[in-house]
C-alpha cells in the first residue's frame, strides 16, 4: 500500500466528537489510540507510513479509513460479514474497521513481510479476535470461504485490483476501492462483465481533499 503523501493542514478534531458524529461509541477511543501508539512505535523501525505527525495519522489513517462506514449501510450491523483488505500495509482500513465492527470477520492481507509482522503484532496487542492476517500476494492466496466485500486503499489501479482479487469475492459480493479523485480512464478500463455500482464521495473530518469510494460488482443478467 502507498500512503497518501502527507500535506500540511490536515488537523484532527477531538476524537470523541468525531466518534460521536460517526455514530460510534466513545469507548472506541482507547483501542484506536492504542492502534496509533503501536503504529508510531513500529514505524520508527519499519517505516510503515510516511506520515509521522500524530494529528496527520488520526486524519489520514483513522478518519480516512472510518469514512467508508456509512457506505456499508444496510450491512453495518450484519453479523459475520466477511471483509478482505488487500494491501493492508499498516492496517488501513482493515484493522480500523475491525476495531469498530467487532462482529465482522476481517482478513488483512499484505505480501510485505515487515508489514505482515506489524499486522500480526497489532492483532495480538489489541486482542482482535475477529481478524486474520494473511502474508501473501493476493493473486496467489486462497480462502476457504469467499468474501462479501473486498476493500483496498491505494493498492493498485481499479482494473488490477478487481482482476487480482476476483477469485476471492462471493458471487454477489462487492469490491470497494478507496480513491482520491476518480479518473474516467480508470473506470473505463474495468474488465468486461463488471459494472460500477456507485461512486460515493467520502467526507473525512479535518481533510480538505477529494476522497471517493468506488463500488464494483459483477454484471448480473436479467431474469425473465
Helix (H) or strand (E) holding 131: strand 131-134
Task: Report d(CA 39, CA 84) in Å as an integer.
Answer: 20
3-state SS class at 84? strand
The predicted model gives 66-78 an average pLDDT of 86
The predicted model gives 112-134 an average pLDDT of 97
The predicted model gives 162-173 an average pLDDT of 97
pLDDT, tens digit (0-9, with 9 covering 90-100), for 202-211: 988 888 889 9
Return the HEC string of 132-186: EEECCCCCCCCCCCCEEEEEEECCCCHHHHHHHHHHHEEEEEEEEEEECCCCHHH
DSSP string, 59-81: IIIIIHHHTTGGGGTTSTT-TT-
Asked whether residue 224 is domain-assigned, the answer is no
First-residue to last-residue Cα distance in the chain: 43
Report which of residues 10 and 175 the model is more confident about: 175
Q: Which of 127, 141, 38 is nearest to 90 (CA)?
A: 38
Asked whether residue 5 is domain-assigned, the answer is no
Rg of the chain over all Cα atoms, to the nearest angstrom = 17
Asked whether residue 114 is domain-assigned, the answer is yes
9 has a pLDDT exceeding 50: no
Tell me which residue range forms the domain holding 181.
Answer: 15-218
Asked whether residue 1 is domain-assigned, the answer is no
Asked whether residue 85 is domain-assigned, the answer is yes
Asked whether residue 8 is domain-assigned, the answer is no
Contact predicate 147/82, CB 8 Å: yes
Q: What pLDDT sits at residue 79? A: 84
Cell 482500513 belongs to residue? 93
Number of domains in the chain: 1
Q: Looking at residue 51, which CATH number applies to its domain?
A: 3.40.50.150
Task: Report d(CA 132, CA 151) in Å as an integer.
Answer: 15
Confidence of residue 7 (pLDDT cuts 50, 70, 90): very low
Report which of residues 76 and 148 the model is more confident about: 148
Asked whether residue 81 is domain-assigned, the answer is yes
Asked whether residue 9 is domain-assigned, the answer is no
Amino acid at each position: 500500500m502507498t500512503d497518501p503523501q502527507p500535506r500540511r493542514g490536515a488537523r484532527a478534531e477531538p476524537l470523541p466528537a468525531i466518534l460521536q458524529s460517526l455514530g460510534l461509541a466513545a469507548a472506541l477511543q482507547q483501542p484506536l489510540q492504542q492502534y496509533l501508539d503501536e503504529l508510531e512505535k513500529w514505524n520508527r523501525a519499519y517505516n510503515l507510513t510516511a506520515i509521522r505527525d500524530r494529528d496527520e495519522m488520526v486524519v489520514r489513517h483513522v478518519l480516512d479509513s472510518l469514512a467508508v462506514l456509512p457506505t456499508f449501510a444496510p450491512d453495518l450491523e450484519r453479523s459475520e460479514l466477511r471483509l478482505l483488505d488487500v494491501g493492508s500495509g499498516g492496517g488501513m482500513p482493515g484493522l480500523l474497521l475491525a476495531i469498530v465492527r467487532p462482529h465482522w470477520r476481517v482478513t488483512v492481507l499484505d505480501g510485505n513481510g515487515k508489514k505482515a509482522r506489524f499486522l500480526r503484532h497489532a492483532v495480538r496487542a489489541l486482542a482482535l479476535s475477529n481478524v486474520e492476517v494473511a502474508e501473501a500476494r493476493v493473486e496467489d492466496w486462497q480462502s476457504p470461504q469467499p468474501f462479501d466485500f473486498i476493500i483496498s486503499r491505494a493498492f493498485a489501479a481499479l482494473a488490477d485490483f478487481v482482476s487480482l482479487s476476483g477469485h476471492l469475492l462471493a458471487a454477489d459480493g462487492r469490491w470497494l476501492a478507496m480513491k482520491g479523485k476518480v479518473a474516467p480512464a480508470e473506470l473505463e478500463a474495468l474488465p468486461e462483465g463488471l459494472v460500477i455500482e456507485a461512486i460515493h464521495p467520502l467526507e473525512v473530518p479535518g481533510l480538505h481533499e477529494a476522497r471517493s469510494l468506488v463500488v464494483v460488482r459483477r454484471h448480473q443478467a436479467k431474469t425473465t
